[in-house]
Amino acid sequence: KATYRVCTLPGDGIGPEIMAEGKKVLAAVGEKANVDFVCEDHLIGGAAIDACGSPLPDETLNAAKASDAVLLASVGGPKWDSTDPNAPRPEQGLLGIRKGLGLYTNLRPVKIYDALAGASTLRPEVIKGVDLVIVRELIGGLYFGRRERFYDEPGAGANGGRGQRAYDTMEYREYEVERIARKAFEAARKRRNKVTSVDKRNVLETSRMWREVVHRVHDEEFPEVELEDLLVDNTAMQLINRPADFDVIVTENMFGDILSDEAAQITGSLGMLASASLGDGVSLFEPSAGSAPDIAGKGIANPLAQILSAGMMLTYAFDMTEEAGWVESAVERVLDDGWRTRDIADDATPADHVLGCAAMGDKVVEYL
Amino acid sequence: KATYRVCTLPGDGIGPEIMAEGKKVLAAVGEKANVDFVCEDHLIGGAAIDACGSPLPDETLNAAKASDAVLLASVGGPKWDSTDPNAPRPEQGLLGIRKGLGLYTNLRPVKIYDALAGASTLRPEVIKGVDLVIVRELIGGLYFGRRERFYDEPGAGANGGRGQRAYDTMEYREYEVERIARKAFEAARKRRNKVTSVDKRNVLETSRMWREVVHRVHDEEFPEVELEDLLVDNTAMQLINRPADFDVIVTENMFGDILSDEAAQITGSLGMLASASLGDGVSLFEPSAGSAPDIAGKGIANPLAQILSAGMMLTYAFDMTEEAGWVESAVERVLDDGWRTRDIADDATPADHVLGCAAMGDKVVEYL
Ligand SMILES: CC(C)[C@H](C(=O)O)[C@@H](O)C(=O)O
Ligand SMILES: CC(C)[C@H](C(=O)O)[C@@H](O)C(=O)O
């Protein structure tokens, strides 16, 4: 009987609640597939700061490295918002584990569930058929470049040198662009064979290098995949104008952060979106939405993104595509039968079809 | 009789066509208000590259500096796309004149015209009442920071030092944030008294400084204006989710580039959106949309954004708010009476109400 060790990181806010449902579904899949998923909780984010002063204790990173896959829920919350610039921040745990595991590829699929199309603020005919994936570079660029804040010497620089000065650095090396481009083209091959590479080539040097390298990788290794370039500002428009036209969108870290959230919002059901972060070793899976501190502890959070993240883990970490299909199809049928959590319910949902977090997890297990 | 010297920069693509209509309307306003607008064309962008090898000839920058205001149409086009990294690019003309005139404030109003609400891909009830302005910092950040590309020394750095490396720098000084924050609060005072300051404080040092400085300016000088902070990724979502909730959005250059285009697309009628770029001297006014090379020379471009840019010039450069009101109201009445250019026409528009570029300019003059 195969055994997989999953490092589970419940984190903050609704994290522990939705994680419980993710594990529930995983256990049910394990039983059906005759596989053992051994989950072990570790601390990250605000919870880790509270327990031991660091958003990513060494113990957690080591456990993650020693595991077969990492399943994360969410980190952060107002409790750890501090005006002290040196105070540890929950997000550092997330950034730290991405870097620590070398997770350079972030896959964020954005897909409209027919049953939930009404939740979108876009017109139904515009979002019909939307099925794209954002391939975001995750451990480079402005997120991990050199940054500093200091005071100008009196008299030096502009404005007589008064006041503070700060900078961040958007830096990329050729091999970092190469490897993420490859992931995008590989993803496109398994989908509709089209890649949109997003940059700001008319301004940034990193973007000019980005475009050259993406085209070289394309011409040398994936000439049969359709490739188009789009400026980041134009992409922000086209995602609203013609979202269904996109297949794979590949871009650098900060642009990917902004565009993937924009694309997620287009569906109107953020609580449904899962993501995978991949490198050359252990991978990490997490919902796209945040820790929702305002509803934490109330038992009303939507666990479906967490459950679908576990589904992505089956595909990408354990090569269990068939079993991943069970999870996706169970979620789809649950929705088709009208079961909802509060965030995706609408006026047409009968009160007895609005489920709490745990009841939704149970429902998915029932449909498995 | 007052005389104002306007430096007009038709630029590329549809630029010359829409500029002609902007001038037409300006002349009509001048006649009615007994003011002389003396327009003088100068070269910028691709047209300037073709004529003298530089996207911003000294002559143009000097003429702009000596004028009372600059009215720009649009720059760029595939003709000047080059794989040679040292070839001059039309956009450098735009960036150069912004920097050369010290235009640190870019105002992009985004407003739904009732008559055009159907053009949006968002549901009518979501965009109803949208009336916001993006205040974008325009001459700092990644756009003007140090950038470079080079080869790592063999053996040095990551990956054994193979390949290229590139970086751009996002840099801000305290006074740059202060002055743009002030512009945002001043704008809010004349509107609905609310400012949303957008940053990525959980990652960037420039954003942490940005947030501190914006709050200091707020507390010291504008305590009566409502101020909220929003992360850039969340803003990209909320613009789609609840666009009508925003009043003034203030942000740094690159975030502003992306978010203002996203916000513009929400209206579905990009050809309607004007912008003002202000500094401490001469100001510049231009449509938000681009040079649309695909329809250039066909006489079908929408000149309304250019005409409304001239309207913003009346307000911001010449303090002629009453006359600016004439222009806005003429445009609104033209739309209310069903007159359209091709880009904003729909199935319900009778063929004889679809106007070309020049005819639309004439129509606005008629309604003045
Ligand atoms: C929490 C934050 C640092 C993070 C990011 O910006 O990458 C989040 O927004 C995300 O997209 O996963
Ligand atoms: C053409 C380009 C350099 C410019 C910018 O990015 O500022 C444009 O997109 C704009 O927003 O005015």
Query: pLDDT digit string (tens) for A268-326?
Result: 888 899 999 999 999 999 999 888 999 999 999 999 999 999 999 999 999 999 999 99
Residue B360 contacts residue B301 (beta carbons within 8 Å): no
Among candidate residues B258, B79, B209, the one with its CA nearest the CA of residue A231: B258
Residue A177 contacts residue A210 (beta carbons within 8 Å): yes
User: Is the predicted pLDDT of residue A165 greater than 80, yes or no?
Assistant: yes
Query: pLDDT digit string (tens) for A63-78?
Result: 999 999 999 999 999 9
Determine, yes or no, domain membership for A151. no
Q: Clarify whether residues A347 and A230 are in a common domain.
A: no
Determine, yes or no, domain membership for B116. no
Q: How many whole angstroms separate alpha carbon A328 and alpha carbon A308? A: 7
Given the residues B50, B114, B233, B319, the one annotated as active site: B233
B223 is in an annotated binding site: no
- pLDDT of chain B, 368 residues: tens digit per residue: 899 999 999 999 999 999 999 999 999 999 999 999 999 999 999 999 999 999 999 999 999 999 999 999 999 999 998 877 788 999 999 999 999 999 999 999 999 988 898 889 999 999 999 999 999 999 999 999 999 998 876 655 555 556 899 999 999 999 999 999 999 999 999 999 999 999 999 999 999 999 999 999 999 999 999 999 999 999 999 999 999 999 999 999 999 999 999 999 999 888 899 999 999 999 999 999 888 999 999 999 999 999 999 999 999 999 999 999 999 999 999 999 999 999 999 888 999 999 999 999 999 999 99
pLDDT of residue B135: 98
Q: How many whole angstroms separate alpha carbon A185 and alpha carbon A274? A: 20
pLDDT of residue B117: 86
Residue A209's pLDDT band (boundaries 50, 70, 90)? very high
- Which residues make Cβ contacts (< 8 Å) with residue B366, sequence separation at least 6? none
Q: Where are the beta strands (DSSP E) in A144-185?
A: 147-151, 164-173
pLDDT of residue A349: 92
B229 as an active site residue: the answer is no
pLDDT of residue B290: 84
Q: How many whole angstroms separate alpha carbon A300 and alpha carbon A278? A: 30
Last residue of one domain, picked from the residues B209, B238, B267: B267
Determine, yes or no, domain membership for B278. yes
Determine, yes or no, domain membership for A35. yes
Residue A199's pLDDT band (boundaries 50, 70, 90)? very high
A298 is in an annotated binding site: yes
Last residue of one domain, picked from the residues B267, B297, B327: B267
Q: Clarify whether residues A83 and A132 are in a common domain.
A: no
Residue A81's pLDDT band (boundaries 50, 70, 90)? confident
B-chain CB neighbours of A200 within 8 Å are: 254, 257
User: Is the predicted pLDDT of residue A156 greater than 70, yes or no?
Assistant: no
Count up the domains in chain A and report the number: 2
Domain of residue A207, residue span = 121-143+172-267
CB pairs under 8 A between A and B: 186
* Closest approach of A354 to chain B, Cα-based (Å): 22
Tokens at B15, concatenated: 């630029």
**Residue of B74, B91, B103 with the most ligand 2 atoms within 8 Å of its CB, for mutation:** B91
The mean per-residue pLDDT over the stretch A218-245 comes to 97
Atom 11 of ligand 2 has which residue's CA nearest to it?
A: B257
Last residue of one domain, picked from the residues B237, B267, B297: B267
Q: Is the dihedral of CA B122, B126, B132, B138 positive or negative?
A: negative
Q: Clarify whether residues A126 and A231 are in a common domain.
A: yes
Q: How far is the CA of B257 from the centre of ligand 2 (A)?
A: 7
Q: Clarify whether residues B89 and B131 are in a common domain.
A: no
Decide: helix, strand or coil at residue B285. strand
Tokens at B331, concatenated: 């445009």
B-chain CB neighbours of A267 within 8 Å are: none
Element (H, E) at A362: helix A357-367
Q: Clarify whether residues A134 and A238 are in a common domain.
A: yes
pLDDT of residue B162: 64
Cα dist. A181→A46, A73, A104, B112 in Å?
34, 27, 11, 39
Question: DSSP code of A122?
Answer: B
Q: Clarify whether residues A139 and A235 are in a common domain.
A: yes
Q: What is the CATH number of the domain that holds A224?
A: 3.40.50
Q: What is the CATH number of the domain that holds B32?
A: 3.40.718.10
User: Is the predicted pLDDT of residue A26 greater than 70, yes or no?
Assistant: yes
Determine, yes or no, domain membership for A109. no
User: Is the predicted pLDDT of residue A152 greater than 80, yes or no?
Assistant: no
Q: Clarify whether residues B193 and B301 are in a common domain.
A: no
pLDDT of residue B366: 97
Residue A138 contacts residue A253 (beta carbons within 8 Å): yes
Q: How many whole angstroms separate alpha carbon A144 and alpha carbon A166? A: 15
Determine, yes or no, domain membership for B114. no
Q: How many whole angstroms separate alpha carbon A107 and alpha carbon A274? A: 9
Find the residue in B nearest to A147 (Cα): B205
Cα first-last separation, chain B: 21
Determine, yes or no, domain membership for B115. no
Q: Clarify whether residues B138 and B227 are in a common domain.
A: yes
Query: pLDDT digit string (tens) for A240-273?
Result: 999 999 999 999 999 999 999 999 999 988 889 9
Say what the pTM is: 0.95
Q: Clarify whether residues B258 and B156 are in a common domain.
A: yes
